[in-house]
């Protein structure tokens, strides 16, 4: 659900009128902020809402910038700061740790291809298919990058130690906020080398230098690494809601779903 700022209540009311006109008696709204969820519940008082929540950890870059402290000292605990320093020092022994932000759509696509190879290797090793297993998914993002990069809406990041890649990040940019979406990391047997930690910290510090206002990890899956919360300064709660209009059909469907759950 996307609401035009200042017209949220009006849009929610129009939606409530439109749904029955279209014959819709069930719909999903994903990634809602709490205030927008409240608006929909007020607009649909008779509808049942099944709600699941997820957290979006993020860093308030403006606050850190205004404090004049470094990101590591302003935002990280002593323990996390130590982990970051140790892993970056371990990588630095291979060569200078550097960051590249794609400066063209073509370079972004090259980086996406490298990210995809690391991403798929990681997730298939975990017994998962990986986000880039689908050719349609890959094709969609290639088109998205070609069409959106020149508008400043795509950020592709590559972090290296000497000539060796550590990790790559695929993010979106909106109103000064960096929204991390997908990653590809070069994992190794050496436990000192933590590519996710090294890549994100390097990217966060670069975003701080470039004047961005926030760095978001967005809502993740069950396997989302804990370091995302350790690196963040704040958390936003997002809601995934399923709205169901009261009706005999929906009561029957709800009963059948409960029976299926119990059988499982």
pLDDT of residue 201: 97
pLDDT: which is higher, 251 or 93: 93
- Mean pLDDT of all residues belonging to the chain: 92
**Distance between CA atoms of residues 159 and 91, nearest Å:** 11
pLDDT tens column, 181-222: 999 999 999 989 999 999 999 999 999 999 999 999 987 655
Show me where the domains of the chain are located: 8-47+245-263, 57-235
> Domain 57-235 carries which CATH code?
3.40.630.30
CA 96 distance to own-chain centroid = 28
* Whether pLDDT at 146 is above 80: yes
pLDDT tens column, 56-107: 899 999 999 999 899 999 999 999 999 999 999 999 999 999 999 999 999 9
Q: Counting every residue, how long is the chain?
A: 264
Residue in 28, 32, 26, 24 with CA at minimum distance from that of residue 3: 32
Residue percentage of the chain with pLDDT more than 90: 71
């Amino acid at each position: 659900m996307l609401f035009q700022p200042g017209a949220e209540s009006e849009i929610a009311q129009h939606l409530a009128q439109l749904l029955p006109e279209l014959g819709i008696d069930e719909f999903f709204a994903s990634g809602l902020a709490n205030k927008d969820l409240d608006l929909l519940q007020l607009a649909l008082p008779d509808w049942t809402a099944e709600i699941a929540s997820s957290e979006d950890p993020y860093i308030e870059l403006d606050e850190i910038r205004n404090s004049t402290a470094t990101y590591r000292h302003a935002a990280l605990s002593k323990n996390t700061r130590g982990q970051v320093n140790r892993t970056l020092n371990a990588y630095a022994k291979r060569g200078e740790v550097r960051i590249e932000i794609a400066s063209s759509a073509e370079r972004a696509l090259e980086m996406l291809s490298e990210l995809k190879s690391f991403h798929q290797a990681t997730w298939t090793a975990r017994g998962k298919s990986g986000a880039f297993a689908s050719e349609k998914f890959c094709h969609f993002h290639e088109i998205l990058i070609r069409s959106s990069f020149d508008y400043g809406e795509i950020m592709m990041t590559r972090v290296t130690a000497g000539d060796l890649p550590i990790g790559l990040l695929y993010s979106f940019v909106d109103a000064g906020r960096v929204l991390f979406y997908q990653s590809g990391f070069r994992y190794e047997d050496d436990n000192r080398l933590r590519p996710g930690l090294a890549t994100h910290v390097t990217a966060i510090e670069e975003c701080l230098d470039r004047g961005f206002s926030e760095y978001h990890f967005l809502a993740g899956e069950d396997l989302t690494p804990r370091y995302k919360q350790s690196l963040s300064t704040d958390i936003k709660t997002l809601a995934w809601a399923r709205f169901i209009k009261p009706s005999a059909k929906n009561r029957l469907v709800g009963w059948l779903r409960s029976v299926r759950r119990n059988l499982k």
